[in-house]
Amino acid sequence: MPAPLTITEFDTYDLRFPTSQHLDGSDAMNPDPDYSAAYVVLRTNSRDLCGHGMTFTIGRGNELCVEAIISLASLLVDQPLEALMRRPVELYRRITADSQLRWVGPEKGVIHLAAAAVLNAVWDLWARSRGTPLWRLVCEMTPEEFCDCVDFRYLADALTPAQALEILRGQAAGKEARIERLLESGYPSYTTSAGWLGYGDDALRDKCRDLKARGWSHFKIKVGRDLADDLRRCRVLRDEMGGEARMMIDANQVWDVPQAIEWIRALARFEPWFVEEPTHPDDILGHRAIARAIAPLRVATGEMCHNRIMFKQFMEAGAMQVCQLDSCRLGGVNEVMAVLLLAARFGVPVCPHAGGVGLCEYVQHLSMIDYVCVSGSVEGRVAEYSDHLHEHVHDPVVMKDGCYMPPEAPGYGVRFTGAALDGYSHPR
């Protein structure tokens, strides 16, 4: 009998891509991001099999995530994979609830971003060891197995394991048909590639035309730096898009609550499909006040919502009408699964955050899991897409008519190329 597959050691990489040079990714809060990945490769006793995982940052501070990954990944050395994944919730707790490391979170900030990288790597390894893409691995789980991945601690007042099982069992019958549909036409996306704040009107117009020609019908534009500018840029975008396409506006947290309400009312004439991150990401009650004031316009947030306890409250309070969970800010696939269940429980559509680097490769799996296992619908749901930096991973996303096509390669989708590791590793 061969030795069980066991994690033996790991390597970490501080990868930074100099995106600030071209103002890709620029918005009102983040004028000069250098899209970055704190990346870990879990090595095993099987030479050909590694687990690859990352978390996403925008430059400085990436080194902190790498340091934290070293602390957390050390907890996995000498662990056999199947023992770790027998009850995946135990893996989640091992990585997020170390009694001393918990103090520097808990479940937030650098330590939780690092937990995401490590958990994403274990899930990648698990899917690779089964020779299957991650979305399929999860979609083939029974409702009970799905629930065994979720930490229900602190959710009891909003979502019990029994309620989660009920949601999953309710969707079990249609899973095969939905997988067929995905294989045929993919999962719909929207794109921010046109709307960065650093682009001039001509660039905005050109990008919009190009994307429309390639099949997109949802366009997001960054706002919040200057109202007159916003009014002009929204007009340009709306004119180019045509009346049928959907426009979303994204303020990246720049407003106070009263200011948000006033500014959004001024932009309401462009009929945005949702308004993203109007104020500080921790401000549940502030988002609720904004949502009430601007209804029927909807508030979207979540890319900086740091754990399932925050999502629980945002949804329960009616402070989030669109859930933009982040694959690298939540504690890996486990915590994403918890948030998908919460969203189903509260009837909130999930439109995951992506862009950056690696995020598109991750969220395609998550939206497909949501569709097949949890929500059962693509109605009102689009996963974010941005057409940057895909050349740095081995199995980049495949888009067709503005839709993510289901990944076929084993794993979770982010394995950086040797050229990326050689060319973009940040010197210590």
Which parts of this chain interact with a second copy (CB under 8 A)?
A: 29-34, 57-65, 67-68, 71, 98-113, 153-157, 253, 256-259, 279-286, 289, 304, 306-307, 309-310, 312-313, 316-317
Going by their DSSP bridges, the two strands 187-195 and 246-250 should be labelled as unpaired
Active site annotation includes 394: no
Could you tell me the CA-to-CA distances from 364 to 36, 93, 398 in Å, in that order? 19, 25, 10
* Residue among 353, 365, 388, 392 flagged as catalytic: 353
Q: Is the separation of the CB atoms in 39 and 417 below 8 Å?
A: no
Residue 103 or 418 with smaller CB distance to a second copy: 103
Least spacing, CB of residue 359 vs a second copy, in Å: 13
Crossing angle of the two packed helices 332-346 and 359-369, in degrees rounded to 10? 50
55 three-class SS:
strand
Place of tokens 């299957």: 132
Sequence letter at residue 139 = C
CB of 90 to a second copy, least distance (A): 18
Looking at the Cβ atoms of 104 and 419, the one nearer to a second copy is: 104
Beta-bridged to residue 343, according to DSSP, are none
The Cα 291–Cα 275 span in angstroms is 9
CB 352 within 8 A of CB 367: yes
Read off φ and ψ for residue 102, nearest 5 degrees: -55, -30
What is the closest distance, in whole angstroms, from the C-beta atom of residue 310 to a second copy in the complex? Answer: 6
What is the nearest approach in angstroms of a second copy to the Cβ of residue 158? 9
Asked if 211 and 245 touch (Cβ cutoff 8 Å), the reply is no
Q: Which two tokens stand for residue 6?
A: 């066991």
Degrees to nearest 5, angle at CA 226 with 222 and 228? 105
Rank residues 106 and 380 by Cβ distance to a second copy and give the closer one: 106
Q: How far is the CB of 257 from a second copy (least distance, A)?
A: 4
C-alpha torsion 104→107→109→110, nearest 10: 70
Q: Which is nearer to a second copy, 352 or 406 (CB)?
A: 352
Residue (192 or 313) nearer to a second copy, CB: 313
Are 320 and 301 within 8 A, CB to CB?
yes
For a second copy, the closer CB: 320 or 403: 320
CB of 92 to a second copy, least distance (A): 15
Q: Which of 52, 112, 222, 306 is catalytic?
A: 222
Q: Active site includes 52?
A: no
DSSP state of 74: G
Mind telling me the catalytic residues?
222, 353
